[in-house]
Amino acid sequence: MAVVCHLNLGVIFLFMGFWFIFSGLYYRLPVPIEPMKVVVAIAIAEVLTQDIIVAAGIILGVIFFSWGSVMEWWCWSAGFPEAWCGGFSSG
């Protein structure tokens, strides 16, 4: 539809992101967005090269590994139950 109507996919994704943020704040619920699906959607829309896609995957992996490790450490040091720590650090 975006190709047929000559719409800018970057603008569509931007407003879709704003909508996710707005609806999450309005309903007070988190909106799950899978980061690699976002990377794929941008790669298709913007025709990214393989190197950029691989770099995006590595960067996301480092970010989520670091965040999970820090949250796991914080959870254990704060004395929370083991089941809670596992669920908290994994997502």
Residues 54 and 91 in one domain: yes
Residues 66 and 28 in one domain: no
Residues 27 and 49 in one domain: no
Query: How high is the pLDDT of residue 66?
Result: 85
Residue 91 reports pLDDT greater than 70: no
pLDDT in tens, 26-85: 888 777 777 878 888 888 888 788 898 889 889 988 988 888 777 777 777 777 776 666
Q: What is the DSSP annotation of 37-81?
A: HHHHHHHHHHT--HHHHHHHHHHHHHHHHHHHHHHHHHHHHHT--
Residues 23 and 39 in one domain: no
Q: Whole domain around residue 72: which residue ranges?
A: 34-91
Q: Mean of the pLDDT values across residues 21-28?
A: 83
Domain count for the chain: 2
Query: How high is the pLDDT of residue 1?
Result: 64
